[in-house]
């Protein structure tokens, strides 16, 4: 029986990835890198800034990486103030979850300031039982630890929860934690998400197939 629903944040609850893409295009462009949508999907989406910079700018010192990350996220927040929107169907789904007393958690690789900013901007700051940040843990997604931590805080077995995720790293983390997972097709097609272990791939939370999982019924 379903007892909790866990959500990623960027690209899952908020259509924020186009904003991140634009900022990375400008800032990595200043470093001589060309970022197109394919590169964003394959090497940036869903990863921590540390992992991204270790991959794309390995010559950066720790101080340079920190300065880049802080500047990037500030640019994101400045732009997102006027552009951030919830993914279609999210609010009715959260109302349905709350009405049934199900547990909830946000499990994200977003930096704390971004996570708090986005949840406040979406009016969701008080809607979740727990917020699990990858930066607070020894290992972030794609490691399963963030989702295992959410289960521990909720006191649940993996089979009692359901995850919504949009990125390959997030789906890998949730599946490795043993939690049934639904892929949200913000950046990746159904074939990619299902191939990573998602049980279903949806465009947004209005998909009528969610009833097959016992949701919105």
Contact 41, 188 (CB under 8 A): yes
Domain end, chosen from 83, 99, 119, is at 83
Residue 98 CB neighbours (<10 A): 11
Q: Could you read off the pLDDT of 157-212 as tens digits, one per residue? A: 999 999 999 999 999 999 999 999 999 999 899 999 999 999 999 999 999 999 98
10 is catalytic: yes
Domain end, chosen from 83, 98, 131, is at 83
Q: Could you read off the pLDDT of 38-85 as tens digits, one per residue? A: 999 899 998 999 999 999 999 999 999 999 999 999 999 999 888 889
**196 and 141 in one domain?**
yes
Q: How many domains does the chain have?
A: 2
The tokens of 192 are what?
Answer: 């990619």
Query: Containing domain of residue 45, as a range?
Result: 17-83
**91 and 58 in one domain?**
no
Question: Alpha carbon of 20 to those of 1, 44, 95, 108: distances in Å?
Answer: 37, 9, 28, 15
**55 and 8 in one domain?**
no
Contact 165, 198 (CB under 8 A): yes
Position 129 confidence tier, pLDDT thresholds 50, 70, 90 = very high
**Domain of 127: which CATH number?**
3.40.50.1000
For residue 194, cis peptide bond before it (omega within 30 degrees of 0): no
**206 and 100 in one domain?**
yes
Q: Residues 10, 17, 166, 207: which is the catalytic one? A: 10
Q: How much is the pTM?
A: 0.90
Contact 165, 5 (CB under 8 A): no
**73 and 94 in one domain?**
no
78 is catalytic: no
């Amino acid at each position: 029986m379903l007892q909790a629903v866990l959500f990623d944040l960027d690209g899952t609850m908020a259509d924020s990835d186009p904003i991140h893409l634009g900022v990375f295009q400008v800032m990595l462009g200043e470093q001589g890198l060309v970022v197109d949508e394919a590169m964003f999907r394959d090497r940036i989406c869903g990863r921590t800034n540390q992992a991204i910079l270790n991959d794309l700018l390995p010559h950066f010192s720790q101080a340079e990486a920190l300065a880049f990350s802080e500047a990037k996220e500030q640019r994101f927040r400045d732009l997102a103030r006027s552009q951030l929107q919830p993914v279609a169907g999210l609010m009715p789904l959260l109302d349905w979850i709350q009405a049934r007393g199900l547990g909830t958690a946000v499990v994200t690789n977003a930096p704390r300031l971004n996570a708090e900013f986005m949840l406040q901007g979406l009016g969701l700051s008080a809607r979740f039982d727990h917020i699990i940040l990858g930066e607070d843990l020894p290992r972030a997604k794609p490691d399963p630890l963030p989702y295992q931590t959410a289960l521990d805080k909720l006191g649940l077995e993996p089979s009692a929860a359901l995850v919504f995720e949009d990125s390959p790293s997030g789906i890998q983390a949730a599946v490795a934690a043993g939690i049934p997972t639904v892929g949200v097709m913000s950046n990746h097609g159904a074939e990619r998400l299902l191939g990573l272990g998602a049980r279903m791939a949806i465009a947004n939370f209005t998909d009528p197939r969610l009833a097959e999982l016992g949701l919105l019924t």
